[in-house]
Amino acid sequence: MSNEKKKESIIEQQINREVPSQIPFHVIKSTYTRMLLHCMTQDVAKYDLWACRKNGARVRMRVVLMNVFDRATGGLLNTDIPVGYLFCSGCDKPPTTRGGDAVYSDQLQTLAV
């Protein structure tokens, strides 16, 4: 298989979520911290997946476009960036956030998803 075909194959696998993409992504820090405490890691094939400690439900992420502000100055830092809210699909209801909601920059955590 040529190098070009290998690259296309890897990208196709990432799109289909067969392998992790490791793309940096902003999430709400408090939801990430909660999932660290709430979940366990399951080894599925060679990739680790988070699952609820109580019932084995998978962690989900709701993504909305948000406006990011600086807490100290109150100034707008960025508009319409994708921000994820992590939640347990077995224990939690999906977040009721809407596009255009505000968030402070110190509430964000950057993860690779």
Q: Are 66 and 100 in contact (CB under 8 A)?
A: yes
Q: pLDDT for 22-78, tens place per residue?
A: 778 899 999 999 998 998 876 655 555 778 889 888 888 999 999 999 999 999 999
Q: Please tell me the distance from the alpha carbon of residue 106 to that of residue 113, in angstroms, as a whole number.
A: 20
**Entry pTM:** 0.73
Q: For CA atoms 21, 26, 32, 33, give the dihedral sign.
A: positive
Domain chopping of the chain, boundaries: 17-112
Q: Provide the CB-side half-sphere exposure for 2 (13 A, CA).
A: 3
Q: For CA atoms 48, 50, 53, 57, give the dihedral sign.
A: negative
Q: Which residue has the tokens 């709701």?
A: 62
Tallying the residues shown for the chain, one arrives at 113
Structure tokens at 75: 């100034």
Q: pLDDT for 75-103, tens place per residue?
A: 999 999 999 999 999 999 999 988 889 99
